[in-house]
Amino acid sequence: MKTDVLSLICDPETHDALEIKTENDGRGRPREFLVNPKTGRRYFIRKGIPVFLLESEISGSNRKYQTMYDRMARFYDFSTWLYSRWKGMSVEARLCEYLDELEVAAGSLVLEISVGTGRNLRVLPRGAEFFGLDISWGMLKQCRRNGAKWKLDVSLFMGTAERLPFKDEAFDVVFHFGGINFFNDKAAAVREMIRVAKPGTKFVIGDENEALAKKYEKLPVTGGFYGHRSTAISAPVDLLPPGMQDVRVKDIAGGDLYCLTFRKPS
């Protein structure tokens, strides 16, 4: 883990600053971990990725999707390429429908919540610094493989969108695409995104809309995920705290996905 990352992260439980320590792993090798000096709570660093997730904390829908994405990590990029072909677009053109909304400048600290395989970050301007968090170890590993292939430097973290291990107002750009419809606690995820962004940040949040969910519920592979909705899917506008500015929702990907944009007041 890079040491300057320490200035951005905190204990997701208490928001206290963390320190990096090294101990012997019992087999004579050094092992790094993060510790909250006030509480003594430790977070291990697995293959260079800080793990802010305890097995006991993963439940409900988050567990279901963590397992699903762990299994499909290696095929995810292919499936999104297929989807783009089906929509008659290149992957890049499709991603730019929402990524072009972000205000990324040279040197911007850019955080993607639910980074997946990192395909969004690949399309953003290279002069920025990239950070990605995800609940799935499989997706994080694929993101790291992709980063090496694409020569893209991304600092990765394992955790949940609902409880971010980042300090208040740490990032210039924060966005999420593709997972929020099924998060355990959407309201907490939206609150956390806003907390870790600097004042004035423009956000993008997007996912499948009700029209696509209706198509998916009829298909054998996806039906199980969409068939039991108690309410129609919609962009989480109602979860934004009062005072957010320039709130807009548009349909993208030929009407399959919603894209919510808004700005945190300066």
Q: In the complex, what is the shortest distance from the CB of residue 119 to ligand SAM, in angstroms, rounded to a whole number? A: 5
> Binding to ligand SAM by residue 129, rule CB under 6 A?
no
- Does 114 bind ligand SAM (CB under 6 A)? Our answer is yes
How many Å apart are CA 174 and CA 178, to the nearest integer? 14
Instruction: Compute the least distance from the CB of residue 185 to ligand SAM, in Å.
Output: 8
- Give residue number: closest CB to ligand SAM: 116
Identify the DSSP state of 32.
Answer: E
Enter the DSSP assignment of 3.
Answer: G
* Contacting range for ligand SAM; rule: CB under 6 A; set: 1-9, 83-91, 113-121, 256-264: 113-121
Nearest CA among 91, 100, 155 for reference residue 125: 100
As a whole number of Å, the end-to-end CA separation of the chain is 31
Show Cβ contacts of residue 116 under 8 Å, excluding neighbours closer than 6 positions.
69, 76, 134, 139, 142, 143, 178
Among 136, 181, 209, 261, binds ligand SAM (CB under 6 A): 136
Q: Which of residues 142-201 bind ligand SAM (CB under 6 A)?
A: 160-162, 177-179, 183
Using CB under 6 A as the binding criterion, the count of chain residues that bind ligand SAM stands at: 19
Tell which one of 52, 65, 131, 225 touches ligand SAM (CB under 6 A). 65
CA 99 to chain centre: 14
Q: Does 101 bind ligand SAM (CB under 6 A)?
A: no
Instruction: Choose, by CB under 6 A, the member of 108, 120, 181, 201 that binds ligand SAM.
Output: 120
Footprint of ligand SAM on residues 32-51 (CB under 6 A)?
A: none
Site pattern 66..85 for ligand SAM (x: CB under 6 A)? ---x----------------
Alpha carbon 82 to chain centroid distance? 22
Q: Could you tell me the strand order of the sheet in which 257-263 lies?
A: 154-158, 129-134, 109-113, 173-177, 202-208, 257-263, 245-252
Residues 197-256 touching ligand SAM, rule: CB under 6 A, are: none
Task: Select 122 or 202, whichever has its Cβ closest to ligand SAM.
Answer: 122
- CA–chain centroid gap for 244, Å, is 21
135 binds ligand SAM (CB under 6 A): yes
Give the Cα separation of 113 and 152 in Å (integer): 17
Q: Is 131 in the site for ligand SAM (CB under 6 A)?
A: no
| Contact assessment for residue 239 and residue 162, using Cβ atoms and an 8 Å cutoff | no
Stretch touching ligand SAM by CB under 6 A, among 20-28, 62-70, 165-173, 238-246: 62-70
Smallest gap, in angstroms, from Cβ of residue 261 to ligand SAM? 16
Query: What's the min distance (Å) between Cβ of 138 and ligand SAM?
Result: 8
Helix axes 137-150, 60-86, angle to 10 degrees: 40
* 93 vs 98: CA distance, rounded Å: 10
Interacting residue ranges for ligand SAM, rule: CB under 6 A:
62, 65, 69, 114-116, 119-120, 134-136, 139, 160-162, 177-179, 183
